[in-house]
Structure 1
Amino acid sequence: MIHSVAARAPRVAVAGLSARLLAQSAARAGLNVVALDIFGDRDTRENSGMWFDIGGDGLSIDRTRLFDALECAARLPRMLGLIVTSGLEPLASELSRMPHMPRFIGNGVEAAAVRDPRRFFALLDDAQIAHPAVRFDRPADARGWLMKRADGCGGTHIEWAEHADNAPADAYFQRLAQGRSMSALFVAARREAAIIGFAEQLSIETGRLPFVHAGSLGPIALPPGTTERIVAAIETIVWKTGLTGLNSIDFLLDDDTFQVLEVNTRPSSTMALYEAAWPDEWPRGLIGAHLDACLHGALPRSTLASSRTPASIAGQRVVFAPASFTVSRLFSDACFEDPACHDVPLTGPRIEAGMPVCTVTAAAPTLDALRNALTNESARLLQRIDSYCP
C-alpha cells in the first residue's frame, strides 16, 4: 500500500489498459507507483502514489493523454522507468525510443521479432517448433480459420475469419487447432530464460469475438517430458530474439504435444497466480524479478524447476456485466472490502452490458474445486449488482 512505501522510495511508472496488477506487484517490491490506465479502479489507486487517466473512446488508450502523462512522470524524482502491460503493444517500440519519457523497462526493438507474425512464425519453423497453420492472405474457404491482429491483446484481436469483413494491414490467418489453452510465464535476460510456471487460460465468446480473455488458473503441473520440451522452445525463442524481463507464451496443449500461438512481450496477468501460490519465493513481487532482469541482467534463482509444489492452485476470473448498470457506493464499497474482489470500480461510472465489472479470485487444492470456487465468487458479485445497483 502506498502509505507503507518510504517517502524516498524509487518510483516506477506502470501503464496499460489496466495497471492494477503491476501496481500491486510494484508496491510489494517497495516502489512508489505512478499508474496510468483507463479505469482508475480503487485498488489501483490504493497501491499508487499517483494515477493518470489515459482513457480514450470506449475501452481504448488515448495516445496524446498517454504521452502527456508520461512526460509528467518522467520529471518526477527517483523515477526508475516505465513498465507496460496489455494495451500498449503497438506503442512499445516507440515508447522505448521517445525522448522526454521515463526509461523503458522491458522489450523495445526486441519485441519486433515476435510481434511481427511473418518473422515469428518463420523463426518457429526454422527452430522446428510446432504451431497451427498460418497464412497471410484470406483462405478461399475461411471455415475453421481465425483472423488475428498482430498488435492486439486479451482476445479482442481474434475473430472468425469467415465473419471478418475487412482484414487490417497487420492481420494474419491461423487455422483453429485443438488443445487446452495454456500459457507459460518466464523471465529473460542475456539470452537466457527462467520459467516461472504454467497456467490454464480462460476465455468466453462474446459477439463476433470467440476467445475474449476471462481469467486464468495456476500453477499447473505438466508431465516432465512435456515441460522439458516447452522449456526448450522458450529457451530457443529467447536465444534467437534477445527478449528481456517478464514475458509469456501462449500455446495449445493436446495430450503431450503442444503448438505455440504467440508471445506476449510484457508482464502477464498470470503473474498474480504465482505470487499467490509462492509468496515466499517472490517477496518483492514478480515486478522485482522484471526489474532485476531488465536493469541488471539477473535471472531469479527460483524457477519452475526449483520451486516447491504449491499447497493450492490460484485462479482469477473476469466477471462481465449481464446488463448495463451504474456503479453505486454500496456496490463499490462491498467489492472493495471483499479480499476476493479486484479491479473495483469507483462509485458513479456506467458499465455497459458485456463490459468487465471486476476480477474475482480464489484458491483451492484441485482444479475442479477451484473452478467451483470461482463460479461461486462470480455469482456473489452478480448478486451484489442486483442488490446494490437497481
Structure 2
Amino acid sequence: MKPRPLLPHAPFVVVAGLSARMLAQSAARAGLRVAALDVFGDRDTREASELWFDIGGGPLAIDGQQLAAALERTARLPGLIGWIDGSGLEPFVAHLCAIPGLPRFIGNPVEASAAVREPQRFFALLDALDIPHPPVAFAPPATTQGWLVKRADGCGGTHIEPASAFGDARVPAQAYFQRRRDGRSLSALFIAARGSARVLGFAEQLTCAMGHLPFVHTGSIGPIDLPPSVVARVHAAIAALSAQTGLTGINSCDFLLDGDAFELLEINTRPSSTMTLYETASPHAWPHGLLACHIEAWRHGRLPAAPAASPWRAGQQVLFAPRPLAVSQSFSDACLRDPLCRDVPMPGMRIDAGDPVCTLLVRATSVDAVRYALAAQHALVLQRIETCHEPDYAFIQCHS
C-alpha cells in the first residue's frame, strides 16, 4: 500500500517506540504527517516521517527523559492530533499521560491498561471471568523447575526468563511467576471501543532462544486459520475483557493453544507488530492502514467492519546480526531497494552480534509458502551482509 497524498494542511500524529517504522508507515497511508520517535532512526522510518527524534538510552533501550522531551517538542506541531505508543513504551505511558503540556495520548485509558497489565489485577479478572490461563504465583515457588518469571512492563520476549535463572537473587519489580506450558504461541489482533471489540485475525508467533532468554520474539505469520470452537472461545474472552475494562483502539491478546486447550497469557495494550501482517495480506481491506482504525476507535468509538477472508498470508521475521558489523552504504541501499526488507539501517551504523539488522516481510498464498519465502529472504540478506562492502563490488553483487 502506498501512502495517501498529503493534503496541504494534513494533521500531524506522533508515533513512538523502540522502532516506530511500522506505525509511521501505517500513519502515512492514512494521509497523516508523521513525527517518529525511536531508538534506530531507520531509513524507511525517516522516509515515512517528516520529523524523527532519537529517544535511545543505550543499546536497544529507551531513555525516558529524552522521550518526554521529544514529546514536549512535538506538542507545538501544527494540527497535532496526539501520540501513539508502540513496543517498548510499556514502562512510560502512565507517567507520560500525567505530565501537563504533552500531546494527547491516542490509546487506552490508563486505568484500562492497568486492569490488564498489573498482574494481580489481571489474573484475578481472568479468574472472575472464567478465562483459562497458566497457573501464576506472586512469590517464589518452592521449586523453580517448570516456572517462568515475567516482567509485566516488558515486551518482545525479553521480559521472560526461567525462574531458575534468579536463584536467591531479588525478583524484579512488576514481576510474577507463571507455569511453563506446552502449546503453540499465538496472538489475536483486535480493536476495542465503548465496551465492544472486533477481532481482526490470528497469527502464529515466532520465537527463538537467545542466551538465557527462552522466548525472544522474532516475528509472526498470519492470518492463520483456527478451529471454529477455539475462535469462538478467544472471541468471547476478548469481548468479556473489553467490556469489563474499557479497552480502546488496537490491542493484541497472546495465548497458547495445546490441541484445543486455550490458555490466555497477556494483553498488549498498544498497536501490535502483527498489524503489518493484515495490512500486507489484505491491503484492499485496509486501504488507509490499520492505524486509521485505531484513531477512529479512540476518537469516535467506532469499530471497523469485519474483514473478509483473504487468500493471502504474510510473514515477518527479524534478522539478527550473525557477527558485529558496520552497515555499508551498499548494504543499506540494497535493503532499501528490496521490497521484502523493512527497518533498513542507516549507512555507518554499528550493529553488535545478536542485535537486529532488519525485518523481513513476505506475502504468499499459504503458511508453508510464507515460511519458505522467509527462509529464502533470510539467506539472501545474510549473503548481502557478507558481500556488500566496497561500493563497486557491492553494486554488482546486490543489484536487484
TM-score normalized by the length of structure 2: 0.95
Q: Residue 158 of structure 2 corresponds to which residue in structure 1? A: 156
Q: Residue 93 of structure 1 corresponds to which residue in structure 2? A: 94
Distance 2:285 2:331 in 1: 35
Distance 1:174 1:389 in 2: 46
Number of aligned residue pairs: give it. Answer: 386
Q: Residue 313 of structure 1 corresponds to which residue in structure 2? A: 313
Distance 1:29 1:234 in 2: 27
Q: What amino acid is aligned across from residue 159 of structure 1 in structure 2?
A: E
Q: Residue 244 of structure 1 corresponds to which residue in structure 2? A: 248
1:213 Cα offset (Å): 0.6
Tell me if 1:146 matches 2:141.
no
Distance 1:251 1:116 in 2: 17
Check the 8 A contact 2:3/2:25 in 1, yes or no: no
Q: What amino acid is aligned across from residue 366 of structure 1 in structure 2?
A: S
1:171-204 CA-to-partner distances (Å, cap 9, x unmatched) read 1000101110000000000010011110000011
Distance 1:183 1:295 in 2: 25
Q: Residue 220 of structure 1 corresponds to which residue in structure 2? A: 224
Check the 8 A contact 1:326/1:389 in 2, yes or no: no
Distance 1:57 1:108 in 2: 29
Distance 1:130 1:243 in 2: 20
1:302-347 CA-to-partner distances (Å, cap 9, x unmatched) read x2xxx33212210000000011000000000000000000000000
1:215-244 CA-to-partner distances (Å, cap 9, x unmatched) read 000001111111111100000011111110
Distance 1:2 1:181 in 2: 32
Q: Residue 261 of structure 1 corresponds to which residue in structure 2? A: 265
1:166 Cα offset (Å): 3.1
SS of residue matched to 1:372? helix
Check the 8 A contact 1:80/1:103 in 2, yes or no: yes
Tell me if 1:27 matches 2:28.
yes
1:5-28 CA-to-partner distances (Å, cap 9, x unmatched) read 223101100000000000000000
Tell me if 1:270 matches 2:274.
yes
SS of residue matched to 2:331? helix
Q: Residue 134 of structure 1 corresponds to which residue in structure 2? A: 136
Q: Residue 356 of structure 1 corresponds to which residue in structure 2? A: 356
Check the 8 A contact 1:184/1:198 in 2, yes or no: yes
Report which stretch shifted further, 159-168 or 224-233: 159-168
1:163 Cα offset (Å): 1.1
Q: What amino acid is aligned across from residue 72 of structure 1 in structure 2?
A: R
Distance 1:2 1:201 in 2: 28
SS of residue matched to 2:37? strand
1:140-219 alignment to 2 at 5 Å? 140-164=142-166, 165-219=169-223
SS of residue matched to 2:91? helix
Check the 8 A contact 1:249/1:262 in 2, yes or no: yes
Check the 8 A contact 2:4/2:288 in 1, yes or no: no
1:275 Cα offset (Å): 0.8
Distance 2:3 2:34 in 1: 8
RMSD, aligned CA: 1.2
Check the 8 A contact 1:92/1:108 in 2, yes or no: no
1:389 Cα offset (Å): 4.5
Q: Residue 107 of structure 2 corresponds to which residue in structure 1? A: 106
1:3 Cα offset (Å): 9.5
1:31 Cα offset (Å): 0.3
Check the 8 A contact 1:2/1:32 in 2, yes or no: no
SS of residue matched to 1:276? helix
What runs of 5+ residues in structure 1 fail to find an aligned partner? none
Check the 8 A contact 1:179/1:253 in 2, yes or no: yes
Q: Residue 383 of structure 1 corresponds to which residue in structure 2? A: 383
Distance 1:7 1:382 in 2: 42
Change (3 A) 1:19 1:112: same
SS of residue matched to 1:72? helix
1:139 Cα offset (Å): 1.3
Distance 1:262 1:286 in 2: 22
Q: What amino acid is aligned across from residue 345 of structure 2 in structure 1?
A: P
Change (3 A) 1:2 1:192: closer
TM-score normalized by the length of structure 1: 0.97
Distance 1:280 1:349 in 2: 36
Report which stretch shifted further, 21-30 or 92-101: 92-101
1:2 Cα offset (Å): 7.6
Q: What amino acid is aligned across from residue 122 of structure 1 in structure 2?
A: A
Q: Structure 1 runs of 4+ off > 3 angstroms?
A: 1-4
